[in-house]
Amino acid sequence: MNKRIVLAFCASLVLGMLSISVSAQVFTHSVWTNANGLGIKDANGCSYSNFSGFNMATSWTEPFSPTNPADAHFRGVAKAIGSPFGLCPTRGYDFRLVSSLTTKPDLIEGYWDIYRNGVLACSSCYGVADGLSQAAGAGNYYKLYVDDPGAGPQAWLYSGYLDQRKDF
């Protein structure tokens, strides 16, 4: 076999292996909200936009193949200040991702546990967090909508501004 053909074949093989390793790269993202909440909607009908504390941390990895499972973490904790007439009292909320189904650059789909004043109010409820791919700052925000078996689709909302992000 001609030496040039063998060298060209070897070079093509090396380039092919490099391109496969680059395409198999995993992208991981992480965003945070630090005392910069936008809104909470409770399945009981209360909506809040005034908080004495509001924090969220999430990280997720984009799967690079159909056999690679989604991997994500989300935790949002807030103390919502109630209305002056007591219709919606001051409450503490904790939104915890318990299992993820799908992760993409902009969203996390999975099941959440939601605690209201330390009591489990929605167990393994389906929800989607989106708007996660935006740059931090500049008024960019994310939304987490969670369905409730009794109150219906998108009965819960946890939304805040993107204060920090890291992508690697």
Q: Sign of the C-alpha dihedral, residues 48, 49, 50, 56?
A: positive
Main-chain phi, psi angles of 24, to 5 degrees: -90, 5
Secondary structure of residue 85 in the 3-state scheme: coil
pTM: predicted TM-score of the whole model, two decimal places: 0.82
Beta bridge partners of 139: none
The residue extents of the domains of the chain are 29-167
CATH classification (class only), 29-167: mainly beta
Q: Are 56 and 36 in contact (CB under 8 A)?
A: no
pLDDT in tens, the chain (168 residues): 565 554 444 444 434 443 333 444 558 899 999 999 999 999 999 999 999 999 999 999 887 666 666 789 999 999 999 987 778 999 999 999 999 998 888 899 999 999 999 999 999 999 999 999 999 998 999 999 999 999 999 999 999 999 999 988
